[in-house]
Amino acid sequence: MKGLLQNKYFIDFFAAIMFFTRIPINWDYFSREKPDLTRAAWSFPLVGFLIGIISGICGEFCILVNLPIFLSCTIAIAVSLMITGAFHEDGLADMADGFGAGGSPKNINEIMHDSRLGTYGTSALTLGLLIRIGIVTALADLGYSLVIILSTGFASGKLAILFIRNFSHSSNFAKTGTIIEYISLKKILLATVIWFTSVIFIFPFFGILFGIALISLVILSVVKLSNRNLGGITGDILGATAFLTELAFMLGLTIYLSGTF
């Protein structure tokens, strides 16, 4: 069993779990080397699926004991925040505060690293969570399991991190260790295959396609704003991208499944 857990793919997966969640991992049991997140990038969607499975099961239990769907969805999302430590949500709030306040790149960076939450960050975080709850509730009303909804959403956001990282450059303000290095095409393809083979059996193809189009729009917008405000991306930008692309993909599915198109 120990030999299996020391397989490089297991090591990559647990390295990603350590980075994205608060789940306790005894890293010394797996490797004597430092976690390599760039090497582990292929497993990012798997961590998203894991977070969605755990939080989705909690939400499904709430539905099972006859709690209202809206409340059950809210509890499931609250569980996901506890698992992740609101990792990406923090990035969204920081980006909103910095970009909203504006000014020189140095000033924007200082605002983003201020531990205090400003008006822009509070507004973005509140609206983002409300939209997430609304989308999850809408898809649950359409008959989808909370496990499927949350797993797909979180995995989509994690996958988007790889694309924005490779199609943009780092800001001079990006701190060492807060941003992964460029990812090989092989790892991106593997991560994409893992994500796509999971969602294609659950959701309609054109709904997925519409969701991907919205993800692309978000990534392009974030890259443009980041280049203008900071000269590139930072760790906070990657976190904000994960949150926003999750919403974008699930919104695309919701719009398509609701018969708007």
The pLDDT tens digits of the residues spanning 90-120 come to 999 999 999 999 899 999 999 998 888 899 9
What does the block give as tokens for 125? 């975080």
Phi then psi dihedrals of residue 67, to 5 deg: -75, 150
Summarised one tens digit per residue, pLDDT across range 167-199 is 888 888 887 656 678 889 999 999 999 999 999
The DSSP output letter for 233 is B
Per the CB < 8 A criterion, the answer to whether 38 and 181 are in contact is yes
User: Which pTM does this prediction carry?
Assistant: 0.93
> Mean pLDDT over all residues of the chain?
92
What are the beta bridge partners of residue 170?
Answer: 233
CA 177 distance to own-chain centroid: 18
Residue 170, SS3 per DSSP: strand
Whole-angstrom Cα Rg for the chain: 18
d(CA 173, CA 230): 7
Residues 6+ apart with CB under 8 A from 205: none
